[in-house]
Structure 1
Amino acid sequence: MQNLSEKISLKGQVMLFTGLIVLLSLLILSFFVAHNQSKNTREYLAEKVQSSASYIAYNDLVQKSLIDGEPTQELLDYVELVRAENNLLYIVVMDNNKVRLTHPDSNQIGQTFVGTDAERVFHGERYTSEDIGTLGPSMRAFHPVWDNEGNQIGAVAVGIATSAVKEAVLENQIILILLTGISLFLGLIGAWFLANRIKKTLNGMEPKEIALAIQERNSMLEAVNDGILAINNAGEVLLANDRAQQFLRRTGYQGEFEHTPIDHIWPELKLQDALAKESAASHELIKKGDVETIVTRVPMYVYEQCVGALATFNERSQLHDIMRQLIGTQSYAKSLRSETHEFMNKLHIIQAMVETESYEELKDYIEDLSDRYHLKTASAVSHVEKLVEDVSIAHYLAKRIGWMEKMEVNVHIQSGIPWPSMSTELIDTWVTVIGNTFDNAWEAMQHKEHKNLTLTLKHVGGVLRYVIEDNGTGFSANEQQQFLASSKKGDHGYGLANIKKKLKIFNGTLDILSEKNKGTIITVHIPYTERSQEDD
């Protein structure tokens, strides 16, 4: 059935199933009607022959002929006239010995009545029955005949052919079948109009297309990074995507969402204002508990009629993180433009020396550029190598410090006993710590006019100590808890949760000291044991 529904269009399905329902209903109705009609037709014919038998039995000609023992021509003519007018098979007048006085076949007059169902009439009973007589199967009615003194002097049998009964029943059934066919045809026409109306209501879409559209709509709603809330005209929530539900749960609401008044969930949102005013409001600052959000509210229209309202929102802190990242990107782009400009100037100098064929000066100039580059790089690496024996960490740290200095950050380095060589797993952990803390420090300082970064590397009492201090924006204790609790990589631009996960492998610790607008100090300790001979 599922494969059939996929192959047949919605219009075809509506017509098919409606037609089947109409047909089944008509068949059931026709069965009962046909049964009743057959029964009523038989009862009608039985009553007809019984009435005819009674009418004949009380006729004076019949009584006189039975008393005389022979029929008169007048009786024969009268009986034949009644039989013909009523379309009867026969009318038989017989005496108490079953001898016929009348019969449509004159040769049968004087013969004994045929049938086993005539005995009861001679006991004074009136009844109908079906039996086979001289003229074939028939439905017949029996009626006794009495004289004026009440003595039974004979009986009357009136018969109608069984085939005539069947023909009458069949005629009624044919009419019923025609009516059923007409009703089915009208039902299919109605189904066609209904299917067209449904199709128009669904904008011409098939059920499979509607289901796919709903799945796509749900996927898009959940893929959006904003919280989404929608209400109907009654102010009840129609939709709350996962992002909205997570935010509302986190800020204190623990009830149901669908069909719940928005005032019970987030009264400060005032989403009904978009319904009442039927106008949009963009980027409004609205609180939910202690959390500030940026909200956009718009009314929803269907066929130019306002049917509800929609709100999209995001936490203000998240937007600030995005802005800091954008500012960082702009600063990085500015640095690249500066280096590109400097590089182009050098290319112009080289081009001029080539055009003037000053090859000796060109050679000296290129060697000077190369020496300056290697000196600068070697100086940074050699400086860090004094702090860290492991070459891979030294090069990585030098690269990060060099980038900070290019971004006009004043980097100050402090050291005690240098870090020793270490295992690959520990190197990976330190790369994670250094990378994330440097990124966080840059995000916090990038809006500052004067950027200062202090880095401390020490090896004290079997513990590797790493301290990084910046003069950035800092963050509150609540924000710190949110960042550490987040399992999402890079959430809010901070990698603190990722660092904490890495440190757990080596029983390391992470301490944070931060104050709004005054900076942050992050301290990391990892216990260190000498590597085994296999590692060496």
Structure 2
Amino acid sequence: MPFASFSFTKQLAVLLSGVMLLGMLSWWSYSAHQLDDILTHQISLRAQVQSQQLSQLSSLIAAVGSGSASKTSEIINAVQAVSDADFITVSDRAGIRLAHPVAERVGLPVLGGDIERALENGESYLSYGVGSLGPSVRYISPIFSNEGDVIGMIKVGYLIDTLDLWTSERLLPLISFGIIAVAICIWLSWKFSRYVRTQMQELEPWQLKQALKTHQGVLQATYEGLVAINSEGSLYLINDSARAMLNYHQELGNVFTDGIDNPESFSLKGDDYINGLIRVNGKNLVMNRVTLRTSTGEPYGAVFSLRDQNEMHVLSEKISQVTQYMENMRVARHEYQNKLSTISGLLQMGAYDKALSVCLSQAKASQSQLDSLHALNSRPALSALILAKASKANELGVALSIDCQSDLSALSRRLSEEQLCGLIGNLAQNALEAVKGQENGHVHIGISESACEYTIQVSNNGPLLESEFDVLCELGFTTKQNKADHGVGMYLVRSIVEQGNGHMELDSDEQETAFTIYFPKELG
């Protein structure tokens, strides 16, 4: 199986084991070499000490001087019995053995060819050679007479086989230690690789790389602002949306407190929450917090999501508008069902003329409304909205007049039809609520144009508005009792007007309240 096909854990374990095994082999080679050198040096030193001491033994000097092989062998055999040397041999001046571990070889010439320096020059030296007992390391010392003449030599030696045996005996514990060490290294390599994999969430490197890229993509693709802090409260993650909301341009790793009314907002204090409100640099933000915890439940960080409160209000207003549209459609459906039931009853009674009169009356009323919206044929959504408001007005008993003389075509580059629906829908809804329950309540919706501008006007004959215009358009301000569900409409209207580069005027007295909006046809 190719190495590249292994998992990251196996690759790491194999590489670590290989490195450790290579280190163990290097250590073993060096240790064995050093042990062999030390043992050889010690053996050589032993042979030297024994050889030099025996060469000065007076009884041995006398025996060699007399040429007595029996006396020499007797002395050497006694020494051999207490020595760890493999052999001790003695020869006379002519190189004839006077003592040898093998008695039959006494009287024969010495083998090895390395005794000339001792017999001829009187030197003491270490020698490696092959004798009658095999290859060995031996120390050769000359034997001097009392007159100082060389009368023979003594050789103390250790066989190479003995050295190998001693080396093996001393290496055996090292071999056992090495095997155990290798096994431990392999086990540690495997455990370490498993630990690394656990820290990597049981993922392969390519999976981590893919997850990181996906994480970064999702982070930046998220419309909401996302911020993450560690246990010290330092930011370690933030997307572009959050940077824009918080006006944060510093490097990560800092505690964020600039411009926050409550510096503890981005901290681990307190419980998690949803839709909390904070104020940063004069901007209201809706924030959620989720605490990150260890397996033991200890917090080690938190993730915050941020949304602009204004956007939340605008979205809420749009949802409210959709709900109103649905309610208006329900009212219209209910009204037409009643009229159809009336017509059906008249037909069953045979009152055909009366049924026809009801149909014509309804058709005339519907056609009148459709005719008033003829200029908005290119804007079906806006036409449907105004018709829905007409149905709502009819249900409330309010007279609603429509005068649309323009399709606002030049505004298409600045405002979408949805925005126009939001603008007119909010003004119309406020007008209907202003005259709700009032006798002879009346609402007027007018759209016109001149050579240089468009005009949108929504008026009603409701009570006087005493609040200032700027106050009416503030986010959260409402004149209604249920403040929780209102306070966004006029803010949204002003936002749309500003986006379309228009301006809005308010005229209010005891007889009439009118909101008039002007949009220039051309900019610049």
Fold equivalence (TM over 0.5): yes
Q: What percentage of residue pairs aligned between the two structures are identical?
A: 17
The 3-state SS of whatever aligns with 2:268 is helix
Shift of 1:72: 3.0
- Given candidates 236, 239, 242, the residue that maps to 1:238 is 236
Change (3 A) 1:26 1:514: farther
**Aligned residue in 1 for 2:404:** 413
Change (3 A) 1:162 1:119: same
Q: Quick one: distance in 2 between partners of 1:4 and 1:363?
A: 91
**Aligned residue in 1 for 2:456:** 469
Residues 260-289 of structure 1: per-residue CA shift (max 9 Å, x gap):
1222x444342368534x334554443222
**Aligned residue in 1 for 2:137:** 139
Q: Answer yes or no: is 1:71 the counterpart of 2:68.
A: yes
Partners of 2:410 and 2:521 within 8 A in 1 = no
**Aligned residue in 2 for 1:424:** none
**Aligned residue in 2 for 1:482:** none
Q: Quick one: distance in 2 between partners of 1:336 and 1:243?
A: 38
Q: Quick one: distance in 2 between partners of 1:358 and 1:21?
A: 106
**Aligned residue in 1 for 2:518:** 521
Q: Answer yes or no: is 1:118 the counterpart of 2:115.
A: yes
| Structure 2 residue identity aligned to 1:41 | L
Partners of 1:474 and 1:516 within 8 A in 2 = no
Shift of 1:299: 4.9
Q: Quick one: distance in 1 between partners of 2:449 and 2:148?
A: 142
Partners of 1:227 and 1:312 within 8 A in 2 = yes
Shift of 1:73: 1.8
Change (3 A) 1:78 1:439: farther
Residues 271-322 of structure 1: per-residue CA shift (max 9 Å, x gap):
368534x334554443222322233456543322233444433222211211
Q: Answer yes or no: is 1:319 the counterpart of 2:319.
A: no
Partners of 1:58 and 1:145 within 8 A in 2 = yes
Residues 134-213 of structure 1 mapped to structure 2, 5 A cutoff: 134-191=132-189
**Aligned residue in 2 for 1:423:** none
Shift of 1:344: 4.5
TM-score, normalised by the number of residues in structure 1: 0.70
Change (3 A) 1:40 1:399: closer
| Structure 1 residue identity aligned to 2:255 | P
Partners of 2:343 and 2:355 within 8 A in 1 = no
Shift of 1:63: 0.9
Change (3 A) 1:397 1:49: same
Partners of 2:88 and 2:157 within 8 A in 1 = yes
**Aligned residue in 2 for 1:260:** 254
Q: Answer yes or no: is 1:441 the counterpart of 2:435.
A: no
Change (3 A) 1:27 1:78: same
**Aligned residue in 1 for 2:52:** 54
Change (3 A) 1:89 1:280: closer
**Aligned residue in 2 for 1:305:** 298
Q: Quick one: distance in 2 between partners of 1:315 and 1:270?
A: 19
Q: Quick one: distance in 1 between partners of 2:138 and 2:106?
A: 18
Shift of 1:145: 1.8
Change (3 A) 1:376 1:148: farther
Q: Quick one: distance in 1 between partners of 2:143 and 2:349?
A: 154
Q: Quick one: distance in 1 between partners of 2:97 and 2:506?
A: 130
| Gap runs ≥5 in structure 1 | 385-393, 420-426, 480-491, 501-509, 528-536
Q: Quick one: distance in 1 between partners of 2:70 and 2:16?
A: 66
Change (3 A) 1:433 1:199: closer
Shift of 1:244: 0.9
Residues 345-360 of structure 1 mapped to structure 2, 5 A cutoff: 345=338
- Given candidates 91, 96, 113, the residue that maps to 1:94 is 91
Q: Answer yes or no: is 1:512 the counterpart of 2:507.
A: no
| Gap runs ≥5 in structure 2 | 391-399, 433-442, 460-468, 476-490, 508-514
| Structure 2 residue identity aligned to 1:8 | S
Partners of 2:246 and 2:281 within 8 A in 1 = no
Residues 27-60 of structure 1: per-residue CA shift (max 9 Å, x gap):
2222221121121121122223223322432233
**Aligned residue in 2 for 1:484:** none
| Structure 2 residue identity aligned to 1:254 | H
**Aligned residue in 1 for 2:386:** 404
Shift of 1:191: 4.7
The 3-state SS of whatever aligns with 1:279 is coil
**Aligned residue in 1 for 2:333:** 340
Partners of 1:353 and 1:359 within 8 A in 2 = yes
Change (3 A) 1:4 1:160: closer
The 3-state SS of whatever aligns with 1:23 is helix
| Structure 1 residue identity aligned to 2:150 | Q
**Aligned residue in 2 for 1:531:** none
Q: Answer yes or no: is 1:288 the counterpart of 2:280.
A: yes
Shift of 1:185: 1.9
| Structure 2 residue identity aligned to 1:289 | N
Change (3 A) 1:435 1:63: same
**Aligned residue in 2 for 1:8:** 7
Q: Quick one: distance in 2 between partners of 1:377 and 1:410?
A: 9
Shift of 1:404: 2.5
**Aligned residue in 1 for 2:448:** 456
Shift of 1:365: 10
Q: Quick one: distance in 1 between partners of 2:25 and 2:411?
A: 80
Partners of 1:274 and 1:280 within 8 A in 2 = no
Q: Quick one: distance in 1 between partners of 2:42 and 2:413?
A: 105
Partners of 2:227 and 2:303 within 8 A in 1 = yes
| Structure 2 residue identity aligned to 1:413 | C
Paired residues in the alignment total 471
Q: Quick one: distance in 2 between partners of 1:284 and 1:445?
A: 31
Change (3 A) 1:353 1:27: farther
